[in-house]
Each structure stands twice: as structure tokens, then as C-alpha cells.
Chain A
Amino acid sequence: MLATIVYGFTIGAILYFFSIGLSITFGTLQIVNFAHAMVYAVGVYLFITFLPWLGGVYPLAAALAVVAMIPVAYVVERFIIRRLYGESLDYAIIATYAVLLIGTDLIKWIWGTLPQPVRDPVGAYIQVGEVDLPVYRVIVVASAVAVFLGLRVFFKRSIIGKIVVAALEDRDGVRCLGLNVNKYFSIVFLIGSSLAVLGGVLYAPIATSEPYMGFHILLVAFAVVIVGGMGNLTGTFISAFVLGMVIAITARLWSPAADTMVFVVMAIVLIFKRSDTQE
């Protein structure tokens, strides 16, 4: 049972890393950013490529992958999302989907369709009672909590964070103060993308990587964002861990239903929660 709980927290942590960016784009621009999954998946594949080059030094390869994906995320934000944003939300959504298609196919082209396993970089276990817990998973969960606290400080204390929070409330109001809202949104967008890549890199040793990995996590992350409330960062944190736990427990009882259970939860939330998602 303890192993299941730790597994649930681990999945929750990865979901949290991935969902922050989605939640921010939802909150700021009201669009579904399918391209987020592309950034995530390509980032992980870059990491897998960098790892042997850098002599298997895990943190270095991870950092390099995150840095390498920042320009890609910037291009997506600047030239696709923001350009279409003023015209139609639907077009922006479809365009990001197109980017995901392109990214997925590029991965298949360059790296092939075979799953890519990555070795557990820590490899140590702690014994709690009768169960062996991988230290690595504990590190993943701890880093998610650290990121959550870090983001809280960022949005409460730093000037960029404060501007973004204010703009989430009232975009035009902030614009009237003479601030370039878009600039701050792009900064937050890049932070969200980097965290997604980081989440993917952390997840790579736990699950094998395959070209459609982005699409799979994206579907679950949508549920996280809808359950947690769009643009609500604390809500995202809580719902990521709750849904992670739902996945872990369902997987223990009946593994094929694990991912689908998340959507059942989401449907129930949609039925009972009216205010946030309604027009």
C-alpha cells in the first residue's frame, strides 16, 4: 500500500510539473496549448540524446534539455499562439494541435518509434517497513513540492509574478498602467514550458519514453487543469496529486482503467462544479 501511495505522489508530481504551463496558458489566454505536449516530448528525447554525450551525468543533461527547449517554446508562443490569439481561439487551438502532430512525427522520424528506457540515476532504495522505496521517486516528489513553494514565492513576491497575477484578474487594467502584459505572459509561458520539460526528464527513468508520450500525459493534464480550475495554481497543485493518487490506486486494482478513471473524476467535477468552467 505504501508503494502505491508513493507511486501516486510521483505521478502527481510529474502531472504537476506538466500542468503548470497548461494552467497558465488557460488562465491567461483561454486556449488549450496542445504544443505543450510537443515541448515536453521533444525535450525528453533531447535529454535521452544528451545523456550519453555528457557521460551519463543526469543533472547536466536535464539542464541542457531544458535550455534547448526554451527557444522552441518561445517560437511556438510568439509566432503561433500570440499571432492567432487575436483572431480566433479555435484557430489557435488547432494550430497548436498541428504543432503537436509535427513534433510527434519528427520524433518518430529522428528517433524511431521504439520505446526508450532510461536508467534510474540514483538507484538506491530506502526500506520503510517491508517495502523498498526508490529514493529517486522521493526526490521527484520533493522537487515538485519545492517548485510549488518556489512558484508561490515568485507570484507573491517578485514583480513579474505580481504583474502576471494582476493581469490574470484584469488584463486591460494592467495594460492601462502602461505595462506590456504580453511580455510578462511570455516569460511565464517559458517558465511553464521549462517545467514541463523538467517533469518529462524526471519521468523518463520511471516510464519509458515513446513518441506519443506527450499526447498521453496531455490528456490527463487537461483533466488536472479542469479539476483544479484554470489559471488556479494552488488548485492545479492539489488536483495533480489527487488525480495522481487516483491513477495509482486504480492501477493497483485494475490497471487498464488507470488513465480513464481520471476522466471519470473530471466528468463528475464538471457536473457538480459550475462556476469556473461555465461561460
Chain B
Amino acid sequence: MSAKPTISESSPSGAKKGRVLLELALIAACFLVMAIFVRLYWVVDFCIFCILVLSFDLLYGYMGRLTFGHVLYYGTGGYVASLVLVHLSPNPFLAIAVGVASGTLIAVVLGSILVRLRDAPFALSNLAFNQIGFWLANAGLQDYTEGEDGLSSMAESIGFLDFTSQPVAFGFMLVCMLLVFWLLRTFTLSPYGVMVRSIKENEERVKFLGYSTYFYKWLTFVVCGSLATFAGTLYALYYGFVAPNLLNPFGNIEIIFAVLIGGAGNLFGALAGGVVFKLMSNYLATAISRWELLMGVLLLILVFRFKRGLTGYAIDLRLRISRRRAAEEA
């Protein structure tokens, strides 16, 4: 990659680093403020879900590949981490490491088959593998996963890191989420990110310029898969319990929903969407019994009337204000 990107975000690297740090601080502040107003164990859950949504957004929002099989990796992470905790060692870091490694391995293998596809076949093939995983957790590997009963596990506490204490768990998940955000932000601002977005815009042209798009698509798929697995391992550590529903293909629509609320192809959007979706599902789902119906109707509204999500409208607003200011000055 020698071509210097000329897309708006190509600022000098020092200033870029400073900006990313500032953004991280801002996000941390937002989550800390939220922790005051919303129940703490919910906010921990938000952090985990946001990691999942962020990883999905890289694949869908940035690279334009819609998948209906993302929770496969999430569930794999959860199950592998729990199995490690139960059978191997109660060390939480070992559980995370083995979990992420196994999810990455699955993404490496499946990715090499699946990234050749696009659009509907891609979405569906992922869904098919997700269904196989769901079945494995439910029935196929029942001897290990305990089927529908779910699998309980307990992580030991290392020093102050005790996942049963909510403030500690919150701090840990928040740091993990910021880490993932920083990673993805650096990724998407780099030439690699430009490449990924170009694949979304017009893959033929990227190929024509002499790049092997297959490799970049594969790499993105693997990164997304391992980050989703990471979220899964955190889920297992925090709740100390995993059930096959973690892998239920219906879970994918929640992630898609969250990304659409926030606005696809924007990491801040992914965070905002994740939080808004979780707030909605926590407050509305208890108040309204027809939650699926409501979700369907809201999805339709999003798709028809609110396409660019929260961040899309925020960008529009900023543009309009700056334009007005320019007009006043002139």
C-alpha cells in the first residue's frame, strides 16, 4: 500500500493519534455518566454488546457485507471460554485467549470459503453455519455443552480483578470496549481502512488497480470474527453462564438493528446504536409484550425513513450549521 489516501480523514498521523485519544476519553466519559443513571449491570452488558456491534459494523458498514451469522463467533467465544474455565483452569485470561483463538480459527477456515460470495449468498451461507453452530451447542455436542440446560462456569479473581464485583467488571469491560474501539478506529483510518471501504464502493475497480481483494476481505472477516469471539468470552466471564440461545440466529437481527439505528459504517454509530438498542430492549421489552412486533415495525421505519441512523443525522446537522455560519460570514 503506497497510495496515500485522499479521503477526508487523511490528517497527519500525530494529530490523528491525539484525536483518537480524545475520542476514547469522550466515550469513556459518556459510559461513566451512563453508569450513574442506568443500572450498573446493564451498562456492563452494553459494553459487551457494543463490542459485538462494533465488530459487525466493520464487516457490514465498512466492507458492505451483510451477514446473518455473526453470533456464531459470539457464541463460540462464550462456550469455549466457559469450557476452559470449567475443565482447564479458572484463569479468566486463559479463557479469553483460548476463546479468541478458537473463534479466530473458525473465522480463518470459514472466511476462506465464504468471502468469495457477496450479497444474499454471503448472508445466507453465514446463516447456515450459524445454524450448524446453534445445533451443535443445542444437541450435537450436548455432552460438552449440556444442551439446553446451559453451562455454568466460575472465573477466579486475580488481584483486584473479580468479575463478581460489578464496578470491577464494569471497569474491565469498558477498558476492553475502548481497546476494541481504538483498534478498529486505527484500522479504519489506516490505508487498510481505505481499501476496505473501496471494496464496498466498487470491488471491480480495486481489483483492476491490482490489489488482491480476496486477501483484504478475508482479513476483515477474520478480524470481525475474532472480535465477536472476544465479546463472547467477556459475556461468559461476566455472567458465568452460557446457553445455546447465545448462538440463536435470531440474535443477528438485534446486531443489524443496532447498527442501523446508529448508522452503518461509523464506529460512533455502532456504539450509539448498541446503547440505544440495549436501552430500548431493557425498558420497552418489559413494558410491551409484543416486542418482536415492535422490533419489526421499528426496523421497517429505520429502513424506509431513517436510513442513515443517528450519526447520519448528526453529520447532516453539523454540515447545515457550518454552512449557515459560512453564509452569515459571507
Residues of A in contact with B (beta carbons under 8 Å apart): 26, 30-32, 80, 83-84, 87, 89-91, 93-95, 97-102, 104-106, 108-109, 219, 222-223, 226, 230, 256-257, 259-260, 263-264, 266-267, 270-271, 274, 277-279
Contacts and interface: CB of A to CB of B under 8 A. Distances in A.
Contact of A259 (B121, B135, B299): B135
18 contacts: A30-B119, A30-B120, A31-B120, A32-B123, A32-B124, A84-B303, A90-B66, A93-B66, A94-B66, A95-B303, A102-B293, A219-B127, A257-B135, A267-B113, A267-B128, A267-B132, A270-B114, A278-B116
Nearest to B250: A215
B167 interface: no
Contact of B296 (A31, A105, A230, A279): A105
Contact of B132 (A30, A93, A263, A274): A263
A194 B52 CA distance: 39
B139 A279 contact: no
B128 A223 contact: yes
Given A90-B119, A95-B300, 10 more contacts: A26-B120, A30-B120, A90-B66, A94-B303, A98-B300, A102-B292, A257-B140, A263-B128, A270-B114, A270-B125
Given A98-B297, A257-B135, A266-B125, A91 B117 contact: no
A105 B113 contact: no
A279 B299 contact: no
User: Interface centre among A87, A94, A257, by most B CB within 10 Å?
Assistant: A94
B307 interface: yes
Given A277-B117, A278-B117, A99 B300 contact: yes
B203 interface: yes
Contacts, number: 119
A267 B121 CA distance: 11
Interface in B102-142: 113-114, 116-121, 123-125, 127-129, 131-132, 135-136, 139-140
B253 interface: yes
Nearest to A106: B293
Nearest to A211: B292
A101 B299 contact: yes
Contact of A271 (B113, B123, B290, B304): B113
Contact of A102 (B121, B131, B296): B296
Nearest to A32: B120
A18 to B, nearest CB: 15
A277 B121 contact: yes
A279 B260 CA distance: 25
Contacts of A102: 292-293, 296-297, 300
A185 B129 CA distance: 31
Contacts of A278: 116-117
Interface string B263-294: 00000000000000000000000000011110
